[in-house]
Homo-oligomer: A and B are copies of this chain.
Amino acid sequence: MSGWQPVRRTRAFEDVIAQIERRIADDGLTVGDRLPGERQLAEQLRVSRSSVREAMRVLETLGVVSSQVGRGPDAGACLISRPADALSDLLRLHLGLSNLSLAEVVDARLMIEKWSAAHAAAHGADLSALTAALERMDASTTAEEFVEHDTAFHVAIAEASGNRLTTAMMLSLRDSLRRYAVGAVERLGDTAGLMADHHRIHRAIVAGDAAGAAAAVEAHLLRAYPGISRSPRTEEEGPDGQHGRLDRVG
């Protein structure tokens, strides 16, 4: 009797997760729908409430359920979809374990923001949020205000790309680097250069200039994180790197 696979019995909470996933698929549950209470779920699935709770912790960590205490229509577990929160936790912990370097995170963010800007320019949908954030940034006086609208600006770019997955990735990457972003702003002293970058990005996107938007984003992020990225110039953009001329577009 040899040749046994390491059986790895599935744990009770894993079974609970699988059952909930099955219900989502079969019953067509979606965001906003509610799950049975922990006690009821435990009884239905023939497991203890502890196991149900461990499953809920997992689903909550992955950003698909949210629990409210109390009583009434808003109490209990509710299906949500917040992948960005889960990604933020993921990055924070793996950065803390020193199994991801800052350079890797910066490079990934560079990739995503360039892609988002290019796509926003290529098939840009609603750009009003982008313009509004830019105007508010212009009008801001304090550093806190600036950072707030700066975030709104970059989020607007990501959302204009029309991809919720890359948007979530961008949000979490930005979240992980927030502490360094604050330091970068203070280091630069003033925000004139950053503002010029933003206007350059905005002009390229509204002009539908995908390559120019990507290049402007790259220049912007390299200014914000000097010396961290390992990729000052890699793919796209021909051997000349004269993206400055794109400023006049739009």
Spell out A's residues near B (CB within 8 Å).
13, 21, 24-25, 29-31, 50, 53-54, 57-59, 61-64, 79, 81, 83, 86-87, 89-94, 96-100, 104-105, 107-108, 111-112, 114-115, 118-119, 122-123, 162-166, 169, 210-211, 213-214, 230-231, 234-238
Contact = CB atoms under 8 A, between A and B. Distances in A.
16 contacts: A25-B96, A29-B97, A50-B50, A57-B61, A58-B61, A62-B89, A81-B97, A83-B90, A104-B164, A107-B163, A108-B166, A114-B235, A118-B234, A122-B235, A211-B236, A236-B237
Which 7 A-B pairs give the minimum distances between C-beta atoms?
A236-B236, A118-B235, A81-B99, A210-B235, A122-B234, A61-B61, A104-B165
Contacts of A105: 165
A179 B54 CA distance: 29
A182 B25 CA distance: 21
A235 B208 CA distance: 10
Given A108-B163, A163-B107, A166-B111, A97 B57 contact: no
Contacts of A13: 57
